[in-house]
Chain A
Amino acid sequence: MSENKGLTRQQMCDRLAMEFQDGWIVNLGIGIPTLCSNCDFGEREIIFHSENGVVGYGPLTPAGEEDLHLVNAGGQHVTLRPGAAIVHHADAFGMIRSGRIDVTVLGAYEVAENGDFANWKMAGQKGGGIGGAMDLAACARHVFVAMEQTTRNGRPRLVERCAIPVTARGVVDLVVTNYGLFEITPAGMALKEIAPGITIDEVKATTGCKLIVPGNVPVVKGAG
């Protein structure tokens, strides 16, 4: 089971959140990516956007203090930061399609070395759960993925080509898994940083595509 090795989910999200630049508008998918809103951004101003029209939400609301009119895209009760705004769904997606979102962080079943990824339909499933992922993946300036290195059965999620229907083609920039940080480059999938306690051989053995490994791979920033 690769799920218990390497980075915790929070460490995975902390690492991606280090890439968020001051002033960025960030959209977080449901699942692991929601943990990106728990990070300490220091002096950086990060504006969290959610598909249901909340622009500028803050941390989750403590139990018992929930505003029952206010949730993020994952249906979690959140707070609003000063300067927040509310719009309807069409305007929320207008912001997405018109390129206002600097980065979206999404979960995935598979990411291919050419930047294709799949996150809406499991193998053999009838129907699917797209939500806002296709709009976000097609239109955000950057697409980051946070997912486990392998499936529960140990199959690689980093692959040559997606075997299940894709969400968008050639859009993923950066992937974090519990085993490390990977960049999609014009030459293919590159290992940028490795999780503490994980060896290069373990990463290679659980990666389903050619992996570009530089001579010296640093430990994942912030996790060492």
Chain B
Amino acid sequence: MTHNAYRQGFPFATALTALVLFMLVAGSARAELLIRITEGADAALPIAVVPFAESGAMPAGDKVSSIVQADLTMSGEFRPLDPSKMLSLPSQRSEVYFRDWRLLGQRYVLVGQLNRTGERVEARYELFDVNREERILGETAGASANNVRTLAHHISDRVYEAITGDPGVFSTKLAYITLNRTGDETRYRLQVSDVDGKRARVRLESREPILSPAWSPDGKQLAYVSFETGKPVVFTHELATGERKKAADFPGLNSAPAWSPDGKSLLLTLSKDGNAEIYRLEIASGNLTRLTNHWAIDTEGVWDHTGRGIFYTSDRSGGPQIYHMERLGAEPKRITFGSRYNARARPDAKGEYVYYVHQRNRAFHIARINLKNGEESVITRTESDESPSVSPNGRMLIYATQQNGTSVLTVVSANGGAAYSLPAADGDVREPAWGPIVR
């Protein structure tokens, strides 16, 4: 079991378009999350990530191979070898002695070299299967010198995919909300960081609540609920430019945005016609279609993996439960039965599982239902769990929970095995949204 705790700040670029006065530019790097690996999975694969050979001056900060090692550890699926235990430090195929790595109990070995030319760093890396004595990956990749984290995450993704067959998610982003209270002052901040909590940047800051960040499928925009005008309004926010648009500002609730797979429409919860109902908003035309019609609460709509149906929360049975509408307009079918409180469905991309918040006795956990056989199982051991968000490869899950009275983010493997948590440097961090894989 490893236990890491490090922090790193990054300057905040002033990319926000100052549309409203309350949006302050956070000049300091107080946005960062820490990372704490709390639990490794028993079945983790042993891999040796050999420190890369370097030619030319490398930028200060974490080494590429250290970042790769941390990424693979974080996934819970790998158990990287401590470099101090390595018998040799090969950087190319001719230097790899499989017998040595077998002796150390390693299944895989990653070696590589970094070359700096001008402002660019190029990596040449090779991955070997120790038992088969075969090279299973040999590639080069480059990035600008101030972006070696991007380069390292890319290498981690390639290694992960070569071994597991599923795409890696180390290059994806997290969006989340931090909340700081000092005296009477409350600050909500919408932030975006790498999945390891590094390179966090504040995208919006407000005294009033910010809720429910949701990624567009291309990873370029977020939709969210902001109370900055005194009531809940849904905004879309272009990350590159900071340009924001009001997507829904109807009387009553405007909430729970979720993008369609084609990025052209949003599911929303509106109460303009009486009580909370789910609507589909076509963004370009502004056309609004009502999808539910019931006196009960209907909210937290999200598209299923086919992109034709939706999951949502309704309390029409007396308490919140998850429903599935296979086609828009079809008769909804209740899918959760295991307890009296099941809400906020988040399906994986393959259509195998749906994750949700589940009350058992007095505790709230994250549970998942197997859509093939209807089996519901609790996957978290923490007790005040909220806001599940599935990684785009379906193998990890991030959610918010309480630790010592503050809200932290926790990542677990999708079956609940390995875990790491991402507490904020100070204050609460909550409502994580795992961004898409952007190619």
Please say whether chains A and B are actual partners in one complex: no
Binding site for B on A (CB under 8 A): none
Task: Identify the B interface with A (CB < 8 A).
Answer: none
